Structure 1
Amino acid sequence: MSPTQKGSENQSSQASEYINIEAEENLDETNDQDVNKGHGEEDDGENHAEEDDGEDHAEDNEGSQKAKRQKTLLVWEDFVEVTLPSGEVKVECVHCKKKWLNTQVDLQQLTNDTRKYPVDVDMKPPSLIGLDGKYDVIKMRESIANWLMATEQPFNTVEDDMFVYMMKTANPMFERVSRATIKSDCIKVYERERKKLKALINDVSSICLTTNCWKSSHQRIEYMVITGHFIDQNWRLQKRVLSFVHVPPPRIGLDIADGIYKCLKECEVEGKIFSISVDNASYNDRAVSTFKKNFSKVKKLTCGGRLFHVRCCAHILNLLVKDGLSRIEDVIEEVREAVKYINHSEARRQSFSNVAHQLQVPDRKLLIDVTTRWNSTYDTLSLAIKFKDVFPRYADYEPHFKHLPTEQDWENVERVCEVLQVFKVCTNVISGSDYPTANLYLIEVYKVKETLDKGVLSESSFIRDMTNKRKEKFDKYWGECHLLMAIAGVLDPRLKKRVVNFCYEKIYSSDEASKNIEDVSKALELMYEEYLENHDALMKENASNKSGSSRGNGSSKANEESIGSGWDAFDEYLKDADFDRPGNGNRAEPS
């Protein structure tokens, strides 16, 4: 079958609304005909059905059996065909055990049902019955340990009487365990997963690190989390937490550097670090500078280390936004208190809802923001703006309601929200963790720069003053050429070097844009030359290993020479050929 025929067959199978099995379809059509016939024709219909069945069986028994077309859609991995005692064949969900008749199965139904059970392959529950048919206590305790750690439950949960009652109800063979035992089980699970992580990153050539520091709310202890980002052997983007490091205050650059290096040493990846992304705290600058000096002594850094230190783009956007929100802090506080007052009781919410209905405003619940997250504040303000006419009317019904921003305040909030909407979209794009984001930075930075340039030229003095302060920070962090964003954009086959030419002409002046574009071109050429050096070194190493094994076994060399390989001859041709490589001048490729 040709590729075109295969493609059309797949399209037709996906376009069909229902999934039909030949035998079931024939039987159903016959049954439909029987219903429409009169009573006198019922026997004939049944005879026809039996004859059809006989013909089907005869065709099945001819020579080789006809193979049914395989179900290639991924959704079928979560469904199996089961035969009921009545002889009916249905499809059954492996999660909820719900059954559908084959002739009534809608592909969309199966897909929607599967989405309710997003079970990862590695997280499928283990069987508690061993190969010998006995109940496995160890696996049961391991499952409990995983549940405790995933849901952050205290160890003494397993000693609670109701927990034991629940487990014995589900499994009468369950035995009570102590908090000390389950703690030991959790440590064993951690050590096993640690070994899996080391095995996963053992074959990885380069790892990018991100760090973040915060204070535990209940322990009052400051931690630093170190996360590794890399491409595995199957070309899948991976993100793994490498370690949590306790960093006591006051944090200084050397403490951060020591904590990160200790983690890398334990994971045995200290020689594989490609870059480190940190926020813009001064101690992080000193820590990365220390790392860069130490790593450069044992490993040649890409582009001379210009790609090693990466400033967190999301953190820079956060700093720009906070400068804007500080200009309307009084209004934000008024809106925040108003929302708190209305959401304090059901009666107040109902009264506010009635006023909103009278003014033909769609009824929505007001949101209270998280003060440490500006995107939450933006959501609160953008929703409150829609109720700006409702608040004064509500105050007529509630004499104790005093939180009323002025009309000028609402106008300033609207202007700020228009700008914040751009920042929120940019933050959502570059904060993704399930897909590569480095190639998206440059376009989003250009959009931010364009928004700031428009704000500087705004007719409103309020917007101009707010934007000027933001623009100073923008120029501070992105005024210099950001090589990583540019190179990642060029390596995106959809964008290539056109994205650098387009964005740099918008972000920088004409002279700066030309200089930075040339800087990016030189960095790309340098990376290419470094890649060639690494490739040639790897080829020589493989060749030496190959020749060494051949000397150890003379017959193997004779066999290789007798078998031969076209790739060996082509490799020799590439070594001797003088191609037009960047930096080698205009050399013509040999004909």
Structure 2
Amino acid sequence: MVKSTAASPAVNLESDDDAVIMDTATNPSPALKVNSKSKFKKPKSVLGKNKKGKHHTSTVWNEFVKLPINEEGVSKATCQWCGKLFLADSHYGTTNLHRHLLKCLKRNEVKQDDEEEKESSMLQNKITQEKFREMIAEAIIKHNLPFSFVEYEGIRKVFSYLNSDVKHISRNTSKVDVLKLYKKEKDDVRNKLKSIPGRICLTSDLWTSVTSEGYICLTAHYVDENWKLKNIILNFCHMPPPHTGTLLSEKIYSFLEEWGIEKKIFSITLDNASNNDNCQDFIKQKLNARGLLLYDGIFFHVRCGAHILNLIVQEGLKVIDDSVIKIRETMKYLKGSESRMCRFDECAKIIGMKRTKGLRLDVCTRWNATYDMIDSAMRYQSVLNRLAEEDANFKHCPSRDEWNRVERITRFLKPFNDITTLFSGTDYPTANLYFQGVSQIELLLLEEMESQDSFISNMAEQMKVKFDKYWDCYSVVLACAIVLDPRYKLDYVDFIFKKIEPIEHIAEMKVESIETTLYKLFSEYEHPKSMATTNVSSGVGSSSHTSGAVDDPDDDEDKQDDEFDHYESGRGSKTKKSQLDLYLEEPRLNKKENSKLEVLSWWKEHYNRFPDLSLMARDLMSIPITTVASESSFSTGKKILTPYRSRLLPENVEATLCTKSWLYGFEDEDAEEIGQLEFQFASMNICSAESTNVE
């Protein structure tokens, strides 16, 4: 029996604390030890019945232990969680015991752990075989894993360890699951394309895999409902030779019909090749025959800016002189031996320099590799001069005059390198940002053609011939885009053309041509052909107003009123200023104050003022100037089709690559490789060998 050392105090039934008659310091029945990670098991109560011999019915006794009645005849109960004592006579009831359970910290901790364990168990039970297979398919796609990955012994052990009931699948099943996921995502992309508010621009390019099979990639570029520039790969399809313009056009047009977007096409950007010229001609004819292109497709064909730039500079590098050749031989000499590189580092240390950047050797397919080579040589000019003094075998170090010439070449090529970087970025900017760079290059060529350095002037002349050949028609797209940049408008185009063209009236004719093109294109948006996307005013004068009521004389007056309204609106249109008029008349934005202006955001904000013009600006800004977005897919393609995984069927390559781009995009780890591929693909020829590979 428990002996009490003091009289029992009065009990306040409304207070949990007052109900405690002794704390754990003097309590001979300490709290039970409870493992918070395990479920609580109720120990047997000393007294299972009340005074009348009846069993306790309240659930509170599942968590309290009733102690024997003490010498004073007082009944007590102890909390099984914390050990606190409470009065437990039947006339007190169990309210104070219930109240304590709600506040008991130890009980709440264990209950919370139990709930989390239960929730985790419920989640685990929800994992189905279907979900497991879907996750495996996603992993294969994301990490470029082979279909046989699911048959690896180690992987199967892991799966079995995590869930002994897992049903292992075969490589054929994993392939089926990947194709199933591809079809599901393809339907989602098709629905997304249908909901695009504006026009869609395209880029396309060809690629040869490690298996010598040709692939064609088609990418869509558009501005979404939030006025953000987006691009998405549509197809990465096997394209066997020959790659004639006719066959390419049939392939691309079949893609457009498959996706149901032929009515939304605005432009297509292709590399500069004769088969691509024929390809776009055929597609353009088909779309124009159905009346689907705006302004008869004046902006339909866009040549890849990066490819044109490569051709222009390569033309200039044909007249390269001995100084650059010496630098190339220097790089070959240093990179040919590890001991020579060590000696180079020793010379750098002697003169107090660190090799923070590597030495570059150029490749014939990328002109900017030549720029990188001579730029890196200029950075270590003093080190190379020191090495020439100490290494008798190093015989290709440029002389002082040759170093001066290399410096001029580097300075001459730098603007080309800068615009190449702009053209070739994977996160390409809107079309309005290119006009400045291209005009800067033309002005530079004109200036260097007058150079006293015969080598530089000869180089500039060769490049200017190529520039005029390709950029004459291309400048229309770039000029129209920058006119719709509120920081520049038509005044800037007029300013640049007058700087470039010495004969003033010719410059004025070019500006007028740009202005005329803009107004004709705007008329397509002001009075669109499709009634589904126009306002009511665009339907004035249509035949639907007169059909079905010609023989009713009571309608003659209404018809005459309609004709007068149409006549008056036609007269009014001659004097009423259009949205394009108002936009061009407004002052330009301050360029310094708006240097980071996002043009698409500006047009979104001013949509209510310029509803039709905003739509035209949106479509023009979405024109891709290069095919880099399509070429980016080749980096991923190289990881899917490797020398050790070359038997993958073309349809499986397309399913894997397209689904990966739709779900995950291009990962950062591909960025450097994509940069290296840009100009390699610009000058690449697709191998005509027939493929015999099967999976």
Q: TM-score range by the shorter chain?
A: 0.5 to 0.7
Corresponding position of 1:141: 133
Corresponding position of 1:234: 226
The answer (yes or no) to whether the contact 1:303–1:526 under 8 Å persists in 2 is yes
Q: Could you say what the CA RMSD is over the residues aligned between the two structures, in angstroms?
A: 3.7
In structure 2, the residue corresponding to 1:327 is in which secondary structure? Answer: coil
The answer (yes or no) to whether the contact 1:442–1:503 under 8 Å persists in 2 is no
The answer (yes or no) to whether the contact 1:366–1:384 under 8 Å persists in 2 is no
Deviation of 1:295 (Å)? 0.8
Which of 189, 192, 197 is the equivalent residue of 1:197?
A: 189
Which of 362, 365, 389 is the equivalent residue of 2:382?
A: 389
Q: TM-score, normalized by length of structure 2? A: 0.56
In structure 1, the residue corresponding to 2:126 is in which secondary structure? Answer: coil
Corresponding position of 1:437: 430
Which of 346, 357, 370 is the equivalent residue of 1:354?
A: 346
CA distance in 2, matches of 1:523, 1:175: 64
CA separation of 1:412 and 1:226: change in aligned 2, threshold 3 A: farther
Does structure 1 residue 539 correspond to structure 2 residue 535? yes
Corresponding position of 1:214: 207
Corresponding position of 1:424: 417
Which of 331, 338, 342 is the equivalent residue of 2:334?
A: 342
CA separation of 1:581 and 1:258: change in aligned 2, threshold 3 A: farther
CA distance in 2, matches of 1:318, 1:370: 14
Deviation of 1:200 (Å)? 0.6
Does structure 1 residue 310 correspond to structure 2 residue 306? no
Percent identity of paired positions between Structure 1 and Structure 2? 34
**What CA deviation, in whole Å up to 9, does each residue of 1:472-529 have, x standing for no partner?**
0111112347322121111112222122112222333422211111112212221222
Does structure 1 residue 451 correspond to structure 2 residue 444? yes
Corresponding position of 2:508: 514
In structure 1, the residue corresponding to 2:360 is in which secondary structure? Answer: coil
Between structures 1 and 2, the one with greater helix share: 1
CA separation of 1:137 and 1:433: change in aligned 2, threshold 3 A: same
- After TM superposition, the structure 1 stretch with the greater mean CA deviation from structure 2, 314-323 or 477-486, is 477-486
CA separation of 1:464 and 1:354: change in aligned 2, threshold 3 A: same
CA distance in 1, matches of 2:474, 2:497: 9
CA distance in 1, matches of 2:386, 2:340: 13
Query: Which amino acid letter does the alignment assign opposite residue 379 of structure 2?
Result: K
Does structure 1 residue 530 correspond to structure 2 residue 524? yes
Q: Give unmatched runs, 5+ long, in structure 1.
A: 1-84, 86-126, 549-571, 587-591
Deviation of 1:159 (Å)? 2.9
Query: Which amino acid letter does the alignment assign opposite residue 134 of structure 2?
Result: E
**What CA deviation, in whole Å up to 9, does each residue of 1:41-92 have, x standing for no partner?**
xxxxxxxxxxxxxxxxxxxxxxxxxxxxxxxxxxxxxxxxxxxx9xxxxxxx
In structure 1, the residue corresponding to 2:527 is in which secondary structure? Answer: helix
Query: Which amino acid letter does the alignment assign opposite residue 488 of structure 1?
Result: A
In structure 2, the residue corresponding to 1:494 is in which secondary structure? Answer: coil
**What CA deviation, in whole Å up to 9, does each residue of 1:130-158 have, x standing for no partner?**
86833234334333333333333333333
Count of residue pairs brought into register by the alignment: 434
CA distance in 2, matches of 1:516, 1:170: 71
Does structure 1 residue 462 correspond to structure 2 residue 458? no
CA separation of 1:337 and 1:137: change in aligned 2, threshold 3 A: farther
Deviation of 1:280 (Å)? 1.3
Query: Which amino acid letter does the alignment assign opposite residue 471 of structure 1?
Result: K
* 1:73-222 paired onto structure 2 within 5 Å: 133-164=125-156, 176-204=168-196, 205-216=198-209, 218-222=210-214
CA separation of 1:274 and 1:481: change in aligned 2, threshold 3 A: closer
CA separation of 1:328 and 1:134: change in aligned 2, threshold 3 A: same
The answer (yes or no) to whether the contact 1:501–1:517 under 8 Å persists in 2 is yes
The answer (yes or no) to whether the contact 2:266–2:297 under 8 Å persists in 1 is no
* 1:379-418 paired onto structure 2 within 5 Å: 379-395=372-388, 397-398=390-391, 400-418=393-411
Deviation of 1:335 (Å)? 3.9
Corresponding position of 1:66: none
Deviation of 1:333 (Å)? 6.0
CA separation of 1:131 and 1:479: change in aligned 2, threshold 3 A: same
In structure 2, the residue corresponding to 1:534 is in which secondary structure? Answer: coil
Corresponding position of 2:663: none
CA separation of 1:170 and 1:358: change in aligned 2, threshold 3 A: farther
CA distance in 2, matches of 1:307, 1:353: 53
The answer (yes or no) to whether the contact 2:302–2:474 under 8 Å persists in 1 is no
**What CA deviation, in whole Å up to 9, does each residue of 1:502-559 have, x standing for no partner?**
2222333422211111112212221222212128942349999xxx9xxxxxxxxxxx
In structure 2, the residue corresponding to 1:220 is in which secondary structure? Answer: coil
Corresponding position of 1:262: 254
Q: Give unmatched runs, 5+ long, in structure 2.
A: 1-105, 107-118, 545-565, 582-695
Deviation of 1:304 (Å)? 2.9
Deviation of 1:577 (Å)? 10
CA separation of 1:536 and 1:311: change in aligned 2, threshold 3 A: closer
Which of 368, 383, 396 is the equivalent residue of 1:375?
A: 368
CA distance in 2, matches of 1:197, 1:420: 42
Query: Which amino acid letter does the alignment assign opposite residue 177 of structure 2?
Result: D
Q: TM-score, normalized by length of structure 1? A: 0.65
Corresponding position of 2:19: none
Deviation of 1:170 (Å)? 7.2
Query: Which amino acid letter does the alignment assign opposite residue 511 of structure 1?
Result: H
The answer (yes or no) to whether the contact 1:207–1:273 under 8 Å persists in 2 is yes
- After TM superposition, the structure 1 stretch with the greater mean CA deviation from structure 2, 434-443 or 342-351, is 342-351
CA distance in 2, matches of 1:420, 1:199: 46
**What CA deviation, in whole Å up to 9, does each residue of 1:186-211 have, x standing for no partner?**
21221122111101101224110111
CA separation of 1:347 and 1:140: change in aligned 2, threshold 3 A: farther
Deviation of 1:422 (Å)? 0.3
Greater Cα radius of gyration, structure 1 or 2: 2
The answer (yes or no) to whether the contact 2:150–2:170 under 8 Å persists in 1 is yes
- After TM superposition, the structure 1 stretch with the greater mean CA deviation from structure 2, 278-287 or 468-477, is 278-287
Q: Which has the higher contact order (CA 8 A, sep 6+)?
A: 2
